[in-house]
Structure 1
Amino acid sequence: MLYVCVFAARSKSMVMGEVSQGPCRSASPSLQEGALKAGWLKKQRSIMKNWQLRWFVLRSDQLFFYKDEEETKPQGCIPLQGCQVNELTANPDEPGRHLFEIVPGGTGEKDRAPISHESFLLMANSQTDMDDWVKAIRRVIWAPFGGGIFGQRLEDTVQYEKKFGPRLAPLLVEQCVDFIRERGLDEEGLFRMPGQANLVKELQEAFDCGDKPLFDSNTDVHTVASLLKLYLRELPEPVIPFSKYEDFLTCHFDTFTVCTAPRPAL
């Protein structure tokens, strides 16, 4: 059974106004320079309910918003520690509104405490933009608890998981590889045929929320292969580091030259 950080309960949102809520550390130009993510989002005012376009900067465990890209003093911020982030279902009567909310409370503890009735409502420019923001914020929220591994540095994931025993690769990689070895080596089109997109996303969200979902006999091997490819694709640096890429190409070329060189006549 998959434990996914998607909560059925949906509170009536009290959206963010001009004043940030909760303690926030002061921002400076260095905050934007060292940003984990930055970009334009719309936020809804709590009184007028109209939308304001603001420049958002994600750094550490806080989401700051500015009037524009040149501002060095933020108008406010959202503390992310202990929050959860949810995509909101699109309303067919309002196309082009890509909404997500940041809900204080309900994460950071494995027992999933009841969520707060306040949330911060934000709108992205596109589905892709919203997905990127949700993943980036979720990574910040869940990284201290072993989640947020999609898009996280490989060494950070391995270092965290060492506390549970010796490990040469992330648990997700070992689990996917073991399952594929057991059930997929004779499968036609392995790593070429796509898996079930909704299940891949569900598994990704589960791992990103610090859960460790198990695959069973009903799990499609192409879905597991797609999940593994997705994880490797989203690594900020490939398994072969950028610094070793030229060495790898040289090694490959040398090996190819040796293997294809004509054999001396006997």
Structure 2
Amino acid sequence: GSSGSSGGKRSHSMKRNPNAPVTKAGWLFKQASSGVKQWNKRWFVLVDRCLFYYKDEKEESILGSIPLLSFRVAAVQPSDNISRKHTFKAEHAGVRTYFFSAESPEEQEAWIQAMGEAARVQ
């Protein structure tokens, strides 16, 4: 039998504050960062200026988190070469651009607004 290794992979994802109010939650498709760039359906929760995403709405384990401060959130431009409908992006100098796709134009608008708010420096 092997003894448990000390250390292991350090996770850089932030912990979600259980007491912080949820600004917005819902399903979004997120473009994979590498490889075939497929779109994965994820459950997103915006809490305390940070976007957390999960496999589903049970919110059992955080797949990742994006601290939105200073990001620019906007609908995609033709130059982004994204053919998907209702797609928007969060971009930040020196950080890769995240692409998200909502299920309706209303949701797209709502997320852009909510994430834009969270990204604004007070």
Fold match (TM-score > 0.5): yes
Contact preservation (8 Å) 1:62, 1:79: yes
TM-score, with length taken from structure 1:
0.37
Larger fraction in strand: 2
Deviation at 1:117, TM superposition (A): 6.1
Q: Which segments of 5 or more consecutive residues in structure 1 lack a partner in the other structure?
A: 1-22, 105-114, 145-266
Q: Which runs of 4+ in 1 moved over 6 A?
A: none
Say if 2:104 is the partner of 1:126.
Answer: yes
SS of the residue corresponding to residue 129 of structure 1 reads helix
The equivalences for 1:117-156 within 5 A come to 118-142=96-120, 144=122
Deviation at 1:143, TM superposition (A): 5.5
**Structure 2 residue 86 is the aligned partner of structure 1 residue 86:** no
**Could you tell me which of 89, 107, 110 is aligned with 1:101?**
89
Aligned equivalents of 2:59 and 2:120: distance in 1?
29
| Partner of residue 42 from structure 2, selected from 49, 54, 72 | 54
Partners of 2:94 and 2:65 in 1: CA distance: 18
C-alpha deviation, 1:24, in angstroms: 3.6
SS of 1:97's equivalent in the other structure is coil
C-alpha distance 141-117 of structure 1, shift in aligned 2 (>3 A)? closer
Give the Cα–Cα distance (whole angstroms) in 2 for the partners of residues 27 and 117 of structure 1.
Answer: 21
Between Structure 1 and Structure 2, the one with more helix by share is 1
Indicate which of 29, 40, 51 corresponds to 1:42.
29
1:63-212 superposed matches below 5 A: 63-89=51-77, 94=83, 97-104=85-92, 115-116=93-94, 118-142=96-120, 144=122
Contact 1:61 1:79 in 2 (8 A): yes
Question: When the two structures are aligned, how many residues end up with a matched partner?
Answer: 109
Root-mean-square deviation over aligned CA pairs: 2.6
Q: Percent identity?
A: 31
Unaligned runs of 5+ in 2: 1-11
Q: Structure with the greater relative contact order (CA < 8 A, sep ≥ 6): 1 or 2?
A: 2
Question: For the pair shown, which has the larger CA radius of gyration, 1 or 2?
Answer: 1
Structure 2 length normalisation: TM-score? Answer: 0.77
Q: Cα distance, 1:98 vs. partner?
A: 1.0
